[in-house]
């Protein structure tokens, strides 16, 4: 299998953490800049987004949730990364975490537009408020590092991404328990080995 990824992408990192955590063999990671119109990426994913997994049969899988589910469906010994199919509360929380990732990525893009003197304060604020409101909701739900599933992967990847790309956003002020959860998860090798650069 080949995984097209970039070292800063929180979506790609979630997938990179998952295959390490599941101890799957045979995933070759290949760096790819989605903003450089990479021919292999565009051939595999017409959306031009990473992560994109190309299976041994040559099938292209995207987006990150599909890849996570695919990896989780491979034979492994570590217990499922996903919650039960009818656990709607967990499913909604997973959607919330994916949405935080979207808002964090949108925030980063808007900050970049500001650097190029074409940013929108309105969109900057919308993304920022969505991130903070949603992290407060995750905080309120009492998510801790005492259990572990795909939601913990998403949470850790998104808050590390915020620290990496938007260090001025003081999310810890509204989500102090998430800060503790982030620190506790940092010790796991699958996170250490994939820290954003």
Ligand X SMILES: N[C@@H](CCC(=O)N[C@@H](CS)C(=O)NCC(=O)O)C(=O)O
Binding residues for ligand X (CB under 6 A) = 9, 11, 34, 48-51, 62-64, 105
Least distance from C-beta 97 to ligand X, angstroms?
11
Residue nearest to ligand X (CB): 63
Shorter beta-carbon distance to ligand X: residue 9 or 134: 9
Shorter beta-carbon distance to ligand X: residue 90 or 109: 109
CB of 70 within 8 A of CB of 14? no
Least distance from C-beta 52 to ligand X, angstroms?
8
Least distance from C-beta 51 to ligand X, angstroms?
6
Bridge partner list, 31: 5
CB of 69 within 8 A of CB of 150? no
Of the candidates 62, 129, 143, 122, the one whose C-alpha atom is nearest the C-alpha of residue 99 is: 129
Side-chain half-sphere exposure of 133, counting CA atoms within 13 A? 9
Least distance from C-beta 27 to ligand X, angstroms?
16
Shorter beta-carbon distance to ligand X: residue 11 or 94: 11
What is residue 66's three-state secondary structure? helix
Shorter beta-carbon distance to ligand X: residue 4 or 175: 4
Of the candidates 102, 92, 171, 106, the one whose C-alpha atom is nearest the C-alpha of residue 139 is: 171
């Amino acid at each position: 299998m080949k995984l097209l990824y970039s070292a800063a992408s929180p979506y790609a990192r979630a997938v990179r953490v998952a295959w390490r955590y599941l101890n799957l063999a045979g995933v070759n990671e290949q760096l790819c800049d989605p903003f450089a119109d990479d021919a292999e990426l565009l051939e595999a994913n017409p959306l031009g987004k990473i992560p994109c997994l190309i299976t041994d049969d040559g099938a292209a899988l995207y987006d990150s949730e599909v890849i996570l589910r695919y990896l989780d469906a491979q034979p492994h010994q570590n217990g499922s990364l996903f919650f039960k199919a009818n656990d709607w509360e967990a499913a909604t929380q997973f959607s919330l975490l994916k949405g935080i990732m979207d808002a964090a990525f949108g925030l980063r893009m808007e900050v970049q537009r500001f650097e190029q003197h074409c940013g929108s304060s309105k969109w900057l604020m919308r993304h920022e408020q969505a991130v903070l409101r949603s992290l407060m909701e995750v905080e309120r739900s009492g998510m801790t590092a005492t259990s572990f599933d795909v939601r913990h992967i998403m949470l850790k990847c998104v808050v590390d991404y915020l620290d990496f790309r938007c260090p001025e956003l003081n999310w810890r002020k509204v989500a102090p328990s998430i800060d503790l959860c982030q620190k506790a998860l940092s010790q796991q090798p699958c996170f250490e080995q994939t820290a954003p650069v």
